[in-house]
Amino acid sequence: MLALNPMGKLPVLTDDGQVVTEVAAIGLYLADRYALGLLAPTPDDPKRAPYLRWSFFAPSVLEPGAMAKMAGWDFKPSQAGWGDYEAMLSAIESALSHGDFLLGDSFSMADVIFGGTVRYMLRFKMLAPRASFHSYADRLAERPALQRAEARNAAVMAEHGLGQ
């Protein structure tokens, strides 16, 4: 594991001799390589900018912002890359106000990355339980691909004697 990721973290993707770590990087790599124009807007598509923004918002703003709130960190929001918690929540609400998904009516890898973080944080009460967040998580949960993935995860957990 350390040979692939010196931090010893999962997930790690190896594809055609390339090693990619970090959830957002793995998601973007896969979408660009195997679903460009489907799950990833092409570089000349105007949706590419918000796609990248919200893909990186989860690990760069949402995760540290929620951690700072939960841990009661004392810091100046102007000096932290994630700003303050309320502004973060407002930004999320704004992102979700343009349609069913981050890019309006088009589901993308940004929804996998960002939406996965939102769903996880709602489940473990790490994020304010706003109605728009729950509605978004519910829309994601209705997607057949997510249902198949969750069924596979549940089977692996059961196989290893892990409860949910």
The model's pLDDT over 44-99, given as tens digits with 9 standing for 90+, comes to 999 999 999 999 999 999 999 999 999 999 989 888 888 899 999 999 999 999 99
Q: Which residue has the higher pLDDT, 134 or 2?
A: 134
Please give the residue range of the domain that contains residue 102: 43-159
Q: Which residue has the higher pLDDT, 163 or 7?
A: 7
Q: Tell me, yes or no, whether 121 lies in a domain.
A: yes
- Pick the closest to residue 22 from 6, 36, 33 (CA basis): 6
Per the structure block, which two tokens stand in for 20?
Answer: 């990619």
Q: Tell me, yes or no, whether 32 lies in a domain.
A: no
How does the average pLDDT of the chain come out, rounded? 94
Q: Is the predicted pLDDT of residue 109 greater than 80, yes or no? A: yes
Residue pair 55/109 in contact by the 8 Å Cβ criterion: yes
Q: Tell me, yes or no, whether 19 lies in a domain.
A: no
User: φ, ψ for residue 18 (rounded to 5)?
Assistant: -100, 145
H helix runs in the chain, sequence order? 23-34, 48-57, 63-71, 85-95, 109-123, 131-141, 144-159
Residue 54 CA to residue 102 CA, distance in Å, equals: 7
- Strand, helix or coil for residue 132: helix
Number of domain units in the chain: 1
Question: What pLDDT is attached to residue 8?
Answer: 87
Q: Tell me, yes or no, whether 55 lies in a domain.
A: yes
Q: Tell me, yes or no, whether 25 lies in a domain.
A: no
pLDDT class of 107 with cuts at 50, 70, 90: very high
Question: What pLDDT is attached to residue 3?
Answer: 84
Q: Tell me, yes or no, whether 61 lies in a domain.
A: yes
Q: Tell me, yes or no, whether 66 lies in a domain.
A: yes
Residue 93 CA to residue 71 CA, distance in Å, equals: 23
Q: Is the predicted pLDDT of residue 156 greater than 90, yes or no? A: yes
pLDDT class of 164 with cuts at 50, 70, 90: low
E strand map for 30-157: none
Q: Tell me, yes or no, whether 14 lies in a domain.
A: no
Q: Which residue has the higher pLDDT, 80 or 29?
A: 29
Instruction: Please report, for the domain that includes residue 83, its CATH number.
Output: 1.20.1050.10
